[in-house]
Amino acid sequence: MTEELMLTGCKRNNATAQEALYNRFSPRMLGVCYRFAKNREDAEDMLQEGFIKVFTQLHQYRSEGALEGWIRRIIVHTCINILKKNKKFADSVDIIHATGVHVREEMIPSIMQAKQVVECIRSLPLGYKTVLNLYAIEGYSHKEIAFLLDIEESTSRSQYTRAKAMLEDILIKKKIINKPAKNSNFLGAVSPS
């Protein structure tokens, strides 16, 4: 089924079109939810709630940009709203200014280790994990993150900086990466695009 037919059918509440849309995008969106969730059940709950919003808000999609990007944004916002209901993000942190993050390819030598890295990110405290996901992976600015999470921009920056340091320690302890050279950082200083 083409994307256009799916959209038309979904807007008419056609179950077949809704199932097609869900089947096409849910595997990737579950991955997004999984990065924010404590476990698979929570991720699946986030996914379900997110797709309910996708179907109820589909009439707002104007075919400007990729449908997947529009769905992803709704899923991310759904995950954040669920997390906000359950936990405050403004835990005590220092005000530290951070730079962007990109994992250097030579530091993660195999695709097999990508799953281990995701598991390590998921083991971070909630605030750190959420800010790291939003900034480094989803590409939100600290200003946008602060607005989404109802925290100060400096808190977002601080939690991001601490998340990078904690993630590096976890990856080294699990021998996923080697300890970087003295003046090196396994996370680059390039901001996400």
- Predicted confidence (pLDDT) per residue in 18-29, tens digit: 999 999 999 999
Domains and CATH numbers, the chain: 3-86 (1.10.1740.10), 90-193 (1.10.10.10)
Per-residue pLDDT for 167 more than 70?
yes
Half-sphere exposure of 155 (CA within 13 A, CB side): 17
CA separation, residue 166 to residues 108, 121, 129, 132, 186 (Å): 17, 9, 10, 11, 12
Q: Which of 45-59, 154-168, 172-186 has the lowest mean pLDDT?
A: 172-186
pTM over 0.85: no
Per-residue pLDDT for 54 more than 60?
yes
Give dist(CA 152, CA 135) in Å, integer. Answer: 15
Q: What is the predicted pLDDT for the residue at 104?
A: 45
133 and 35 Cβ atoms separated by less than 8 Å: yes
Give dist(CA 75, CA 99) in Å, integer. Answer: 26
Question: In terms of pLDDT, which residue wins out, 112 or 4?
Answer: 4
Q: Which residues partner with 187 through β-bridges?
A: 103
In the structure encoding, which two tokens stand for residue 173, read together? 């302890």
Q: Which of 21-35, 85-99, 114-128, 130-144 has the lowest mean pLDDT?
A: 85-99
Give dist(CA 23, CA 19) in Å, integer. Answer: 6
Mean pLDDT across 81-91 = 70
In the structure encoding, which two tokens stand for residue 87, read together? 């936990």
Percent of the chain with pLDDT over 90: 47
Mean pLDDT (the chain, rounded): 81
Q: What is the predicted pLDDT for the residue at 145?
A: 92
Per-residue pLDDT for 94 more than 50?
no
pLDDT, tens only, 100-126: 344 444 444 455 567 778 888 888 888
47 and 29 Cβ atoms separated by less than 8 Å: yes
Q: What dihedral angle (degrees, nearest 10) is formed by the CA atoms of 13, 17, 18, 23? A: 180
